[in-house]
Amino acid sequence: MAKAAAELGDDTLGITADVSSVSDLDRAFAEVRETVGRVDILFANAGIGRFAPVGDCTEALFDEITNTNFKGAYFTILRCLPLIPDGGSIVLTSTVAVHFGLPGASIYAAGKAALNSLAKTLAIELAVRRIRVNIISPGPVMTPIFGKMGMDQETQNQVAAGLMQGIPLQRFGTSEEIARCVAFLASDDAAFITGQELVADGGMSQF
């Protein structure tokens, strides 16, 4: 976090917190309140990917995924909301996997689908404050998350090759491309957009 903050510039505040822990969120946003006082744009992007056939899923796995991907995002918004001024913007990260069946993703996809529903509800609830709430749903993006799933390089290459067959543009997205989509949704260029999902998946969901 310190390295990232240094790369972004001297006016960057870097705080480490576990979004699955509400007490960690309380601590983090208390520091934000004391240091900068407000949050004009909230990008709730923290998430984990764990995949297993439904018959192999456990309560521990369910809690691990859901506590980060849904509960974490929900309470991030809840704890941050008092710091968001009228006219602010919230963007949540979902996944293209909510639009089709993906073997092994029963917990992951269901939790992300909950975020899609949450965005629509909050868009209506927070409209009175002109706070917009939108969703970015990426397809496969080349990030370090593949290495964090416990797969060796050969398995990662096999998974990537299999996914590539279902992407009409025949490549993975980049984090920079997703960042530009988020920047658009958060900006005044999207001032009349709320409760919507922007799918950035290279055409994957069209199959």
Q: Which residues contact 72 (CB under 8 A, 6 or more apart)?
A: 19, 20, 44, 46, 47
In a domain, 32, yes or no: no
- Sign of the dihedral through C-alpha 35, 38, 40, 42: positive
- Which position has the token pair 């764990």? 50
In a domain, 115, yes or no: yes
Q: In which domain, by residue range, is 149 found? A: 40-206
In a domain, 120, yes or no: yes
In a domain, 34, yes or no: no
Pairwise CA distance, residues 73 & 54, whole Å: 24
Give me the number of domains the chain comprises: 1
Pairwise CA distance, residues 132 & 30, whole Å: 23
- What tens-digit pLDDT sequence spans the chain (207 residues)? 889 999 998 889 999 999 999 999 999 999 999 999 999 999 999 999 888 899 999 999 999 999 999 999 999 999 999 999 999 999 999 999 999 988 888 999 999 999 999 999 999 999 999 999 999 999 999 876 666 665 666 766 777 777 788 899 989 999 999 999 999 999 999 999 999 999 999 999 987
In a domain, 53, yes or no: yes
In a domain, 28, yes or no: no
Taking the model in full, what pTM does it have? 0.91
Catalytic residue list: 108
